[in-house]
């Protein structure tokens, strides 16, 4: 029988992420599982059509990571008070980074929203949830944040 001891929750800091927290914490409590939060910043290759150049990106890379870590700390403080969670901020292709982190950290279950960003951004970058479901080595539980 499969045990679920580590749960990964990829977050984008939107209200959609916050709506899933009660499900995440219930699962973690019932299963006695660790919670891992991951935020992925899109890498410069996804902005190649914007003609900003590598120099522009390298200037802001550290600021982006530092800013995302501060947002992560704030998110944990506000949405998961009293919980001990593992947090990580990575940069690159969102689906690849989620799947690779899950594999490397020995994650047993990924919990994620079916909707995060909307509109043109979703069209440009595709569905993250769909990509993770298709690529992950562990089970993926998707939750529609607008139905909870």
Q: What is the CATH number of the domain that holds 29?
A: 3.40.50.620
Within a domain: 132 = yes
- Give the count of alpha carbons within 13 A of 119, CB side only: 1
How many CB atoms within 10 Å of residue 65?
15
Number of independent structural domains in the chain: 1
Within a domain: 129 = yes
Range of the structural domain that residue 82 is part of: 6-143
Q: What is the mean pLDDT of residues 71-95?
A: 95
Within a domain: 148 = no
Distance between CA atoms of residues 106 and 55, nearest Å: 36
How many CB atoms within 10 Å of residue 38?
23
The helix/strand/coil state of 8 is strand
17, 34 contact by CB (below 8 A) = no
Q: Is the pLDDT of residue 124 over 50?
A: no
Confidence at residue 123, expressed as pLDDT on a 0 to 100 scale: 46
Within a domain: 79 = yes
What's the predicted TM-score (pTM) here? Answer: 0.86
Lowest mean pLDDT: which of 47-56, 71-80, 106-115? 47-56
Confidence at residue 16, expressed as pLDDT on a 0 to 100 scale: 87
Confidence at residue 1, expressed as pLDDT on a 0 to 100 scale: 62
Within a domain: 102 = yes
Q: What is the mean pLDDT of residues 108-112?
A: 97
Within a domain: 118 = yes
Within a domain: 82 = yes
Within a domain: 52 = yes
Distance between CA atoms of residues 26 and 29, nearest Å: 5
Q: Is the pLDDT of residue 34 over 80?
A: yes
Considering only residues 100 and 53, tell me which one the structure prediction assigns the higher pLDDT.
100
Angle between helix 94-105 and helix 128-135 axes, rounded to 10 deg? 40
Lowest mean pLDDT: which of 10-14, 58-62, 108-112? 58-62
Give how far Cα 105 sits from Cα of 37, 39, 100, 101, Å. 12, 15, 8, 6
């Amino acid at each position: 029988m499969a045990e679920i001891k580590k749960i990964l929750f990829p977050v984008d800091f939107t209200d959609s992420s916050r709506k899933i927290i009660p499900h995440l914490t219930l699962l973690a409590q019932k299963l006695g599982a660790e919670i891992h939060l991951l935020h992925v910043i899109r890498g410069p290759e996804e902005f190649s059509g914007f003609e900003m150049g590598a120099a522009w990106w390298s200037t802001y890379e550290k600021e982006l990571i530092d800013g995302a870590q501060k947002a992560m700390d704030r998110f944990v403080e506000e949405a998961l008070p009293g919980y001990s969670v593992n947090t990580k901020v990575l940069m690159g292709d969102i689906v690849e980074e989620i799947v690779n982190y899950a594999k490397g950290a020995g994650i047993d279950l990924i919990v994620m929203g079916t909707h995060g960003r909307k509109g043109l951004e979703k069209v440009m970058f595709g569905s993250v949830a769909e990509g993770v479901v298709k690529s992950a080595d562990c089970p993926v539980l998707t939750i529609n944040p607008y139905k909870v």
